[in-house]
Chain A
Amino acid sequence: MDRETLQQAHTAALTAAAHLRLPFRSHTWKGQTGEFAGSGTGSSLDFQDHRAYSPGDDPRHINWQAYARTGSYSMKLFREEVRPVIDLIIDTSESMFFLPAKAIRTAELVYFITESCAAAGASLTTHATRGNAALLLDPDTLRNHTWLDTARHLPAPDPAAAPDLSKVPVRANAIRVFISDLLFPGNPEPILRHLGQRHGTIILLAPFLHSEARPDWSGNFEFIDAERRSRHPHRIDPATLRRYLAAYTAHFTHWKNISRRHHSAFARIPAEQDLSTALHKEAVPTRALEPC
């Protein structure tokens, strides 16, 4: 993908981010001061509770009207306003980019999350994984559209292996957005367990192609593995195609079930539709995103 294509994806993401965002409101935040209500007391305008004055309390929050009525000091407690924390993890394996439509959709999702975080003033850290390798991306690479080149040059001993998220540090109480097509073998349980640790909230955004979900293969093929570039001769007859479709469906059903067990929001985003429409249809119903 060239820079111009990435800019176009960025534009599409900006459009989508104008009326959709990550589920910041449905999350109780802790952490640095920001725009969203935290779980503790703070200095926002939202009244939360009263309690008796204790020495050392900020005298600005003494409820003088109550003192006038009762003669005892009581404190007004206000809701805390904190800054959301987002950990974005991008699967940059070759399968995410081997067809232009899927590559653009992946870039759009990355930019959407970035813009959504920027609009909410959230703290965003971005990690790229490629096989069993991982890399922390500089925020500047997202702004100058060089993140993809950086991520795709990440050396990976086994590019077809499942992502090793144990190398990705996650922050407490963060929303962990994992953008991946999930097209790798292995058990999703370790991945989701890692993403859910330290009170994390998991959002899985899985771009996909209809050509993967509903291929029209028939006859003999020389399949080229997108990850390893190795060739694999296969003869596809109707029975084989049926078995493939069953395996494909079972794979994502398994991911969905495991995600549900981890209270994760799981959305498969088709690459053939425009981004806003796809997100509205697939991500909002699963509460992976919310309207602004």
Chain B
Amino acid sequence: MLSLANPLGLLALLGIPAVLAIHFLQRKARELPVSTLFLLEQTRREAAGGQRFERLIPSIPLWMQLLAVILLTWILAEPRFQKANSVQRVAIVLDSSASMSVFSQDAAAKLETLLPSLNSGASTLELTLLESIPQRPRLYTGTSADDLLASLEDWHPASGPVDPTSALRLARSLVSRDGTVIFLTDTPNPELPFEARQLSIGRKIDNVGFTGVSFAREQGALVWRALVKNHGDQPATRTWQIQTATGSGTPRTIDLKPGAIATLQAAFPTDATNVRIALSPDDFPLDDTLPLVAPAPKPLTLFSATSPAFTALADKLLRALDAAEPTNDAATADLAIATYNPLNPVQPTGNAIIFVEDETRSGAWLKGGLVSEPHPLTDGLNWQSLLARETIQLERLATDTVLLWQDQRPLIFLRQTESARQLYFNFDPTLSNALKQPAFIVLLHRFAESIRSAKIAPVSLNLETGQPIELTTPAGVPLTTTATDPIGNPLPHTDLTHRTAIDTPGFMTVATETESLLTAAVHFGDPREADFSACAPAPLDDTAQTAAIDRHTRPDPYWRLWIFLLLATLLTAWKFSIPKSTPTPQPR
């Protein structure tokens, strides 16, 4: 197979029409009256072709000049011949960010035109198509460009911004050092690692979309508030309306200046399903719809078994926690708050927060450095301003996890059993400044939320696409996951293996045979992907193409012969172009 190292050399073929034009213009340039035309006609050759080209046949200078143009084109194009069994490996990494969903058709068209030129003269082209998220399976591996293009049907970019470094590293390892790695994106990246070549197909789009939602209760009614942003650099006008399974609200118009953010709010419709807020569509549809469910966290029941000194603390905690309810049944309570009294050392058996209560109130201030152990409950908390007095101590087991030390004394430790989780405060908070410590409050909240999270109970959430789901499910019980688009049409291939929300806006549920565990509305809320201001096209850098062609091909071994022939044809054309003097014919 033949390839050209310098395809621009083919422009020399323009010399052919130039030579022909010169010859034809020459023909038209000279008009001459003659009386011997019948003699001239006798000299004409019989030709089946047109009259105009017939006269080109006997013209040796013309043919020599045309041959010279062809030889010159051949030399300038630097033809190279394919080596046997040469293989060019190409790995194409597709940017999986959601903004690429706008350009997926452009990507297919671009690859269709690009793939034939990627073999770099090799006899075999091995293609690998993968996404910039390394965890995703490869879209295609093989040698067929058509199959690769067909595999793009399975590519649905919907994630947030993705660092392509890992995928590019994987791609480079697949194609080795001599292969080609192409990163197909919509936003030019000035520097790509692992010698990856960039191909950007993006362009600026004036996009308006939802960036987030929150809920609040006002006068007993649930109110949603949605943020709408104009990501473009031009003023935009959109309409929005509430849509449910039973109908739509009145469309309303909203005007947004470039970069402006507006808040939409309304009461959440009661007894409605498939509630969504819809903006008038634009080129990026992912953020034009905001599915909603009324948020409902798991209820948390609190049992308080404290002395009167801790009643205020228990009440404050009960008020601070969402969906927390008091209960008098210690057996069914999700979380118990208790104090330790050496005279009555009975401890709760379930999830509990246990404080030391020292009625003597005569202990000295504890001395020594405060050291926090790395643990999710204490991550990022500052305990250095904590002042605690010497009190009686709780009995600590060897399996307990100390969260906070002061010198050799464990101040806070965690006891984890198969059925319960208990947080022990080995000092009397009422004899310390712990109640004024943010770290103390945050620790209590974290612990209570961990209990709530571990509880198996129905929950309603508003999630973002691809958001991780922390869902506690009963062990050994099969789960059924369903997902629909905002209108209610089922989405195929719903998989909760990765415990993340669906990739496109819609609704999803997770349930056992007996009860629903999760009801969620999923919306796209990544403003980075909704902003197309940095998108721009960038052609594929083909500097490495030359090296690949050199590697897979060999140059024309007869190039010296072609140069010699070129000179010979030019000299021949020149020789036949010189007018020669002819003798005067005389009749015999």
Contacts and interface: CB of A to CB of B under 8 A. Distances in A.
A237 B40 CA distance: 12
A157 to B, nearest CB: 17
Interface string A232-254: 11110111111111111101110
B579 A218 contact: yes
A221 B27 contact: yes
Interface string B406-448: 0000000000000000000000000000000000000000000
B60 A251 contact: no
A233 B55 contact: yes
A66 interface: no
A238 B576 contact: yes
A222 B51 CA distance: 13
Contact of A248 (B36, B52, B579, B580): B36
Given A235-B27, A247-B43, A253-B588, A242 B582 contact: yes
B37 interface: yes
B36 A183 contact: yes
A213 B33 CA distance: 14
A212 interface: yes
Contacts of B586: 249
Given A241-B582, A268-B587, A212 B55 contact: no
Contacts of B31: 221-222, 224, 231
Given A234-B55, A237-B59, A248-B39, A214 B32 contact: no
Nearest to A102: B35
Nearest to B56: A235
A249 B56 CA distance: 26
A255 B588 CA distance: 10
Contacts of B27: 219-222, 233, 235
Contacts of A221: 27, 30-32
Given A219-B30, A222-B27, A233-B52, A247 B39 contact: yes
Nearest to A239: B58
Interface string B562-588: 000000000000001001111111111
A111 to B, nearest CB: 22
Interface in B264-301: none
B582 A98 contact: no
Contacts of B30: 219-222
A95 interface: yes
B360 interface: no
A153 interface: no
Contacts of A242: 582
B28 interface: yes
Contact of A98 (B26, B33, B38, B52): B33
Interface residues of B, number: 40
B585 A240 contact: no
A222 B585 contact: no
A230 to B, nearest CB: 9
B29 A220 contact: yes
A249 B37 contact: no
B58 A240 contact: yes
Most chain A CB neighbours (cut-off 10 Å) among B27, B28, B40, B576: B40
Contact of A237 (B38, B39, B576): B576
A252 B580 CA distance: 24
Contacts of A218: 579
Nearest to A233: B27
B36 A214 contact: no
B23 interface: yes
A249 B585 contact: yes
A80 interface: no
A226 interface: yes
A189 interface: no
Most chain B CB neighbours (cut-off 10 Å) among A99, A235, A248: A235
A248 B584 contact: no
B414 to A, nearest CB: 103
B42 interface: yes
Contacts of B23: 220, 235
B343 interface: no
A223 B32 CA distance: 5
A220 B32 CA distance: 10
Contact of A224 (B34, B51, B584): B34
A216 interface: yes
A226 B32 contact: no
A100 to B, nearest CB: 12
Contacts of A94: 35
B55 A222 contact: no
Interface string A6-32: 000000000000000000000000000
B31 to A, nearest CB: 4
Interface string A69-109: 00000000000000000000000001100110000000000
B24 interface: yes
A56 interface: no
Nearest to B588: A253
Contacts of A171: none
A152 interface: no
B582 A214 contact: yes
B401 to A, nearest CB: 102
Nearest to A181: B35
Interface string B35-65: 1111111111000000110011011110000
Contacts of A268: 587
B42 A214 contact: no
A225 interface: yes
A214 B584 contact: yes
Q: Which 6 A-B pairs have the closest CB atoms?
A: A220-B27, A95-B35, A243-B43, A235-B55, A252-B587, A249-B585
Given A98-B35, A214-B584, 4 more contacts: A183-B38, A219-B30, A220-B26, A243-B43
14 contacts: A210-B584, A219-B26, A219-B27, A220-B29, A220-B30, A220-B55, A225-B33, A226-B37, A227-B35, A237-B59, A240-B43, A243-B43, A249-B585, A253-B588
